[in-house]
Structure 1
């Protein structure tokens, strides 16, 4: 109870100081503009809008998850702050126009975000360190096949900044083959091999036949079950954890994702879960298409100068065309030609054939690296949206060769094409460049299951943050 009150007090302090510093940024901008003699008419324009400015800031802080963010890396917190202040500046301009606050100086609206960023970055850095220090280390057990368990354990410890410590693994009784595969992968001296040197980092506590004994001996705060566990073993893990009041988290497999947001119904006195179709409802498709057309037209108009600069830079950097055209698949496997700014050398796959781009792909040009990092190379896809081949938000379109290979490996991949492909999507904002195709597929299916216009708007706003983070741009 004391810990909970302490955490709540910290969150209230965080919220109050965030809003104070937002408004202090406006006041400092006024002082820079006018000095200590601020004209009453100009300051009155601010006073008439400050409650709405404060409410807009509060909404943006919550939307970008800036409360309870101790698990994030500082780079992600800072990127979220930049997004908050960018949209806060747009909200301030809109509010000053809406309230006819024409005496609200435009120079103040332009200067304030820089003042706010300096104040909030300093305060949030201190708060981030304090919040991380307040968190007690949680001891967890990972249950699953060795290869998947090791990868999950690595993510749990690195992504949470040390607030989670993995006590060890509980593996399947039939996982000897998995152990051998893990040892082989660890021995491979590949650049950036994520398994290098971590095989002996965590002990194997036992197998599923003695999971309850492992749970009683270690007494973890939480148990993580991998997606490769059988349904029977997952049920055993859940029952054992619930009976011992231990928190349990399951990495879903594709079948469990299909059950997500199933509707609870009743047949006489029998409860029934009804699983809906894995597609966007027809009535929502018209709204989505109309939104796509309006947004793509507006974006093309705004991005026109950037379009010309990118084309000029590509021509100067390497010989070849400005635009690159490649066959991709969209809704129901329909082929179309996707347009992008060329970021690779001409005939990049002439000798290798179809190859997925890697993080440090030598085929990418100098200008191409920048265009990819900033996602400027995606701008021509707005033409695909206008043509109806793509949507603004949806699963990324893939090439026929890789689609066929992925369907052989994961037959559920075909459900990904139940919706129109998109420029950005849930997999792009939630994953990283190195996220596995299987996990990207899970996010794409979750997007289809939970589609709404509000979800599309949230993905678009979160995409701005992803663009600012190098390892998240994919």
Structure 2
């Protein structure tokens, strides 16, 4: 009871302290500038506008999912804090321009973000540890084919930072679902009596006796892998609902097609309207306008940086500054994608098409920095202006790899129902090592849920991803 009561108080305390520290950062910046004798006009201006600053800060904290982030690693939380402080500074500058009575000296506007980041960083690090202490470990059961279930169990325990504890797997060994017969090792003396181990986790049983496994273990949550048949998924869901257990489904293509489905009625029959995997034509006009405006603005702002990058590339290694590579975009149309060259010239002359690895030896010294800072992607803004790409959309892939992916996953072809992009949902939600199948699901979900607001949200989240080495490819 004590733990539950503290959990209920934790979120309000988190919100109030965050907002207090944001405002305290401004006040401290004033003290650093003026000491105890803050000019009356400055203090009055701040007191009249602090509600707007507080509301913008609260919106940013929620947008970057800083309330309810027990699953996130500290690096992700800190990257979110950097974005919150940066865009809060942009909001403060905008208010100082729009509200003439908002008398913030430039030194206050420049120093406040650094003070806020230091205060929020220390506070949020403490809160991150406290939150994990208040959270009880969630007992989880994973249902699926042996290999897929074990991979999902590994991810759940590692990503959740110990908050989730996988207490076992319920597996589907049937060849019809790609399972095959399980070869289970003999249980060693003194081992867990729940059963032999599939990797690190006990196999509680097979899908046919899922209800018995559910009653025996009584987990808090059940995760269902995507490759089970819909009949098997339904059996698991019905059993979880009957036992009042929360169930999570990893979606397959059919589930993604049902996303954003609209409930309608034909006479007295309820029906779902399943939309097409395309962006509506009226939305394409707005999307293209946003692409042109944002690309021109970004090219103007980054022009000095591009000049420095070009000089560094030339001095570092022989070869051209820009690198052209054939990629595929909308409806499989080929085009040449532009990037700053980050590898040695003719890197694939002998090897042929090869996917770049995280520590690729072909990458030059300057190229490694350009990749880390994502500066190598800037020339793609030229592709956007030409109409080959959009700013937001699935990443364009090379024809050779597209053909290979289609052989393995025929649904990959639907990915090219929209124009390729510089960044996308798969880039902000996935990691460098996320496999193409999962990235495909995010790309299809993006198409199903497109809106101009969604594009703007992805762009703002991309700023956070750029601060994290393993979150984008």
> Where on the TM-score scale, by shorter chain, does this alignment land: which range?
over 0.9
How many Å separate the matches in 2 of 1:171 and 1:240? 16
Q: Contact (CA 8 Å) 1:173, 1:209: kept in 2 or not?
A: no
How many Å separate the matches in 1 of 2:368 and 2:57? 34
Q: Contact (CA 8 Å) 1:96, 1:102: kept in 2 or not?
A: yes
Which is worse superposed, 120-129 or 47-56? Answer: 47-56
TM-score, structure 2 normalization? 0.94
Residue equivalent to 1:373:
372
**1:403-459 deviation digits (Å, cap 9, x = unpaired):** 111111111111111111100000000000000100000000000000000000000
Residue equivalent to 1:79:
79
Which is worse superposed, 292-301 or 100-109? Answer: 100-109
Residue equivalent to 1:416:
415
Q: Contact (CA 8 Å) 1:147, 1:179: kept in 2 or not?
A: no
Residue equivalent to 1:310:
309
Q: Contact (CA 8 Å) 2:173, 2:182: kept in 1 or not?
A: no
Q: Contact (CA 8 Å) 2:174, 2:180: kept in 1 or not?
A: no
1:65/1:75 CA distance change after superposition, 3 Å: same
Deviant stretches of 4+, over 3 Å: 1-6, 175-183
Q: Contact (CA 8 Å) 1:391, 1:422: kept in 2 or not?
A: yes
Residue equivalent to 1:154:
154
1:180/1:364 CA distance change after superposition, 3 Å: farther
In structure 2, the residue corresponding to 1:165 is in which secondary structure? strand
The alpha-carbon deviation at position 103 of structure 1 amounts to 2.9
Residue equivalent to 1:26:
26
In structure 2, the residue corresponding to 1:168 is in which secondary structure? strand
Q: Contact (CA 8 Å) 2:173, 2:180: kept in 1 or not?
A: no
Uncovered stretches (5+) of structure 1, i.e. residues with no partner: 184-197
Residue equivalent to 2:190:
none
Q: Contact (CA 8 Å) 1:328, 1:337: kept in 2 or not?
A: yes
How many Å separate the matches in 2 of 1:275 and 1:32? 59
1:180/1:67 CA distance change after superposition, 3 Å: same
**1:152-184 deviation digits (Å, cap 9, x = unpaired):** 11110010010101111111132698578999x
Residue equivalent to 1:459:
458
How many Å separate the matches in 2 of 1:427 and 1:403? 16
Residue equivalent to 2:224:
225
**1:16-70 deviation digits (Å, cap 9, x = unpaired):** 0101000100011111111111111122222222111111100000000001112
The alpha-carbon deviation at position 121 of structure 1 amounts to 0.4
TM-score, structure 1 normalization? 0.94
Correspondence 1:112-261 to 2 at 5 A: 112-174=112-174, 178=179, 200-261=199-260
Residue equivalent to 2:442:
443
1:326/1:391 CA distance change after superposition, 3 Å: same
The alpha-carbon deviation at position 363 of structure 1 amounts to 1.3
Q: Contact (CA 8 Å) 1:373, 1:473: kept in 2 or not?
A: no
Q: Contact (CA 8 Å) 2:7, 2:135: kept in 1 or not?
A: no
Residue equivalent to 1:190:
none
How many Å separate the matches in 2 of 1:181 and 1:317? 54
Q: Contact (CA 8 Å) 2:222, 2:247: kept in 1 or not?
A: yes
In structure 1, the residue corresponding to 2:422 is in which secondary structure? strand
The alpha-carbon deviation at position 241 of structure 1 amounts to 0.8
CA RMSD after TM alignment: 1.7
The alpha-carbon deviation at position 7 of structure 1 amounts to 2.5
Uncovered stretches (5+) of structure 2, i.e. residues with no partner: 185-196
How many Å separate the matches in 1 of 2:171 and 2:276? 35
How many Å separate the matches in 2 of 1:454 and 1:98? 23
Q: Contact (CA 8 Å) 1:339, 1:381: kept in 2 or not?
A: yes
Residue equivalent to 1:189:
none
1:400/1:241 CA distance change after superposition, 3 Å: same
Residue equivalent to 1:427:
426
The alignment covers a number of residue pairs equal to 460
In structure 1, the residue corresponding to 2:170 is in which secondary structure? strand
1:252/1:2 CA distance change after superposition, 3 Å: farther
The alpha-carbon deviation at position 8 of structure 1 amounts to 3.0
**1:228-263 deviation digits (Å, cap 9, x = unpaired):** 111111111001111111111110111111111111
